[in-house]
């Protein structure tokens, strides 16, 4: 591991799990936590998620050779700016936000001279949030996206690839705009559809739900603040996907209304096959 | 347990699990399997799902005091008719199909003189099918609906309530039309939405799916033949629910397009709360 001192901003489910993984798997690394709350810092230290923490970005950032911003999406950019102010020249800065297009675009527009920013998105987490749910193996075997554009510093990119390979399973390097399309398809649109389902089931039927319904709607439990940020910053891809979905829904309803069993069977067989044949990247 | 000889028609996931549960929990009961396939009968006997089996409805039915039809929905009615032909007078006949309106209506129109039919729907199962997946505890703690109309024989109804209470957890007695509305809401509509999602994710995005997507779409793996029957026999309730869903989807897309973060937050917070607060009947 190239990085010896890692500062994590925001000690929630993701930041806390990352700190724990780093401390357990790489005993030579110093993990510093940056949080606005002294209470959280104390709790994180007690739980072994960080070595030490601070509310002061100057102190937490000037000690780091890698800064990982693990805050909600809407706060990431201001923390990149803080890192630029206080970090040592050449410090690699990354984030773990669920959308990458907007943040990379804003970071590149800013033309930082001090830090080297590379956006990341480890596909790990759950519908829970907060350091209480932090786990050493949250990232184990999971996929991580690392955003690359023509402006990305190649040394920092390589270092991030090596870093994530040690923490997660597979690393996918790709354009941030393409990233946002993919996560709209496989995460944000499903979240919207599950949330819509939960709200539109008549309350008299809801108590009879069983495992199928509960699995289908599990993601809708997610923190609404985090998800508001995600939807706001990936609006275009989500709206495009929802529009395709809506047309397919209309076709399905028309097919069902038409009483043509063959259409219905082929529709169900196609979905069943795609889902059963699904293989991870 | 009032029933001493139970004939199960169709030894798949549900029929097989029921046989296994009866044989393990009530050693005094004789479980007879009726299947068109001698191979299946032999396998079911070897796996301990039945005591003995037959392809001959006369033999299997004349020996029973309870007949449970556990075939796909489209075959239930013809088996009720067979039961009427061969069963002893007063024999209680039930089914375990996922829709109840059509089958109860058809059975009542027929005015059987021999058997006493009561429709059931244990809310147990999985996206798998076949006796290979049979489990003794498949029904344990689950909900079962028993259909009641003005024509339902009260003695047979009581016997079925007692029977299911011993096998499942809770028994809900209700009108078959109301039943079909409830299961449309909490099972059939979610199945349609999950199936639509699976088919409409661009294939380039699908390999990147993680646990959220996989949970949201798990039910779409279900056997397309079984589900074709379910959709065909519960079309009205499903179409009504999908139409409500579609309007909600349009409102959500309009809200997202409008950039009003407050609307988005309230939408997500509402779903998250409903889903987190969910409690079983």
How would you classify the pairing of strands A66-69 and B116-117? Answer: unpaired
| Residues 6+ away with beta carbon under 8 Å from B147 | B100, B104, B118, B119, B120, B121, B173, B174, B175, B176, B179
Quote the pLDDT of residue A126.
Answer: 78
pLDDT over 70 percentage in chain A: 100
Q: Can you identify the CATH homologous superfamily of domain B5-174?
A: NAD(P)-binding Rossmann-like Domain (3.40.50.720)
- Average pLDDT value over all residues in chain B: 95
Quote the pLDDT of residue B1.
Answer: 67
Distance of CA A126 to the CA centre of its chain: 10
Least Cα distance to B119 among B110, B128, B106 occurs for B106
Quote the pLDDT of residue A45.
Answer: 97
**Which tokens sit at B137?**
């505890």
From residue B126, how far is each of B122, B130, B251 by CA, in Å?
12, 10, 33
pLDDT (mean) for B40-63: 97
- The reply to whether residue B249 touches residue A242, judged by beta carbons under 8 angstroms, is yes
What residue in B sits closest to A271 (Cα-Cα)?
B195
Residue A192 vs residue B260, higher pLDDT: A192
Quote the pLDDT of residue B172.
Answer: 96
- The reply to whether residue A276 touches residue B217, judged by beta carbons under 8 angstroms, is no
Instruction: Tell me the pLDDT band of A129, cut-offs 50, 70 and 90.
Output: confident
Quote the pLDDT of residue A127.
Answer: 82
Q: What is the pTM of this model?
A: 0.91
Quote the pLDDT of residue A278.
Answer: 95
Tell me how far apart the alpha carbons of residues B188 and A213 are, in angstroms, rounded to a whole number.
9
- The reply to whether residue A207 touches residue B281, judged by beta carbons under 8 angstroms, is yes
Q: Can you identify the CATH homologous superfamily of domain B179-277?
A: 6-phosphogluconate dehydrogenase C-terminal like domain (1.10.3660.10)
**Which tokens sit at B138?**
């498949």
- Report whether B193 contacts A189 (CB < 8 A): no
Burial of B225 (0-12, 13-18, 19+ CB in 10 A): middle
**Which residue ranges make up each domain of chain A?**
5-174, 179-277
Residue A125 vs residue B89, higher pLDDT: B89
- Report whether A51 contacts A30 (CB < 8 A): yes
Quote the pLDDT of residue B65.
Answer: 95
Tell me how far apart the alpha carbons of residues B183 and B237 are, in angstroms, rounded to a whole number.
9
Contacts of B141 in chain A (CB under 8 A): none
Contacts of B207 in chain A (CB under 8 A): 279-281
| Residues 6+ away with beta carbon under 8 Å from A164 | A120, A122, A144, A146, A171
| ipTM for the assembly | 0.90
Interface test with B, best of A135, A142, A171, A195 (most B CBs within 10 A): A195
pLDDT (mean) for B180-206: 97
Residue A149 vs residue A263, higher pLDDT: A149
From residue A228, how far is each of A91, A123, A171, A190, A222 by CA, in Å?
30, 18, 26, 14, 10
């Amino acid at each position: 591991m190239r990085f010896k001192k890692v500062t994590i901003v925001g000690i929630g489910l993701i930041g806390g799990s990352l700190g724990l993984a780093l401390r357990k798997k790489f005993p030579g690394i110093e993990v510093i936590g940056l949080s606005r709350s002294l209470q959280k810092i104390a709790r994180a230290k007690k739980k072994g998620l960080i070595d030490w923490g601070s509310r002061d970005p100057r102190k937490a950032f000037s000690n780091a050779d890698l800064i990982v911003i693990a805050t909600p999406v809407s706060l990431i950019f201001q923390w990149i700016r803080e890192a630029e102010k206080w970090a040592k020249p050449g410090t690699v800065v990354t984030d773990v936000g669920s959308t990458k297009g907007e943040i990379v675009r804003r970071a590149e527009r800013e033309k930082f001279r001090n830090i080297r920013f590379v956006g990341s998105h480890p596909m790990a987490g759950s519908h829970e949030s907060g350091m209480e749910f932090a786990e050493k193996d949250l990232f184990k075997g999971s996929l991580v996206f690392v955003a690359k554009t023509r402006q990305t510093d190649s040394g920092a990119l390589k270092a991030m690839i090596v870093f994530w390979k040690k923490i997660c399973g597979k690393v996918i390097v790709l354009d941030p705009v393409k990233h946002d399309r993919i996560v709209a398809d496989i995460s944000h649109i499903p979240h919207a559809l599950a949330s819509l389902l939960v709200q539109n089931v008549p309350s008299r039927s809801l108590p009879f739900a069983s495992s199928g319904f509960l699995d289908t709607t599990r993601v809708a439990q997610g923190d609404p603040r985090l998800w508001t940020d995600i939807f706001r910053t990936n609006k275009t891809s989500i709206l495009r996907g929802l529009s395709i979905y809506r047309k397919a829904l209309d076709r399905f309803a028309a097919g069902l209304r038409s009483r043509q069993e063959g259409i219905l069977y082929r529709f169900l067989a196609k979905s069943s096959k795609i889902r059963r044949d699904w293989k991870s990247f």
